[in-house]
Amino acid sequence: MSTIDAASEKKICLRSSDGETFEVEESVAVESQTIKHMIEDNCADNCIPLPNVTAKILSRVLEYCKKHADSVAKSEAEGASTTDKAAADEEIKSYDADFVKVDQATLFDLILAANYLNIRSLLDLTCQNVADMIKGKTPEEIRKTFNIQNDFTAEEEEEVRRENAWAFE
């Protein structure tokens, strides 16, 4: 995208749950299917309220959307070679790996925001990160990792283990 296109592109105003406003390019905002549909339904004349997303998380989500929108624009640019596209793919994979290196509370807030805003790639990325945190761990290790209280009695837990022995092999 040329600088003229970027300068003339329509800006969308988003308001976080704590009242902070963000002005972003439409190409970045439409990474969210929720926002895209609001724009298509002409609900974006004023600031779009996002009552389920705080400013802290919205700024991270918009950073992610901008990086991905720019990456798509770069790889779809006229004259982009296969090598350029591969380099862009590698760059975005590296960015994504760094993006999810956050504390658990932020990660879970990103999951909720990605779900609410319907940003499939961000939801997949964050959920995969949680799945990787669980992978190969015992139930006790998972409880410790996520600070989950065990509400089973010893007898109930033994019954579950017996009924689902295949899962504990």
More confident residue, 1 or 108: 108
Please give the model's pTM, rounded to 2 decimal places.
0.82
More confident residue, 75 or 144: 144
Q: What is the DSSP string of the chain?
A: --HHHHHHSPEEEEE-TTS-EEEEEHHHHTTSHHHHHHHHTT--SSPEE-TT--HHHHHHHHHHHHHHHHHHHHHHSTT--HHHHHHHHHHHHHHHHHHT-S-HHHHHHHHHHHHHHT-HHHHHHHHHHHHHHHTT--HHHHHHHHT------HHHHHHHHHHTGGGG-
What pLDDT is stored for residue 3 in this prediction? 43
Q: What percent of the chain has pLDDT over 90?
A: 60
pLDDT tens-digit readout, 96-105: 999 999 999 9
Sheet holding 48-49, edge to edge: 21-25, 11-15, 48-49
Say if residues 25 and 11 touch (Cβ distance below 8 Å). yes
What pLDDT is stored for residue 8 in this prediction? 59
What pLDDT is stored for residue 88 in this prediction? 80
pLDDT over threshold 50, residue 57: yes
pLDDT tens-digit readout, 119-130: 999 999 999 999
What pLDDT is stored for residue 107 in this prediction? 97
pLDDT tens-digit readout, 27-55: 999 999 999 999 898 876 789 999 999 99
Band of residue 5 on the pLDDT scale cut at 50, 70, 90: very low
CB environment 53-82: b (16+ within 10 A), e (fewer): bebebbebbbebbbbbbbbeebbeeeeeee
> Quick one: which of 61, 58, 60 has its CA closest to 47?
58
Q: What angle do CA 123, 128, 132 make, to 5 degrees?
A: 155
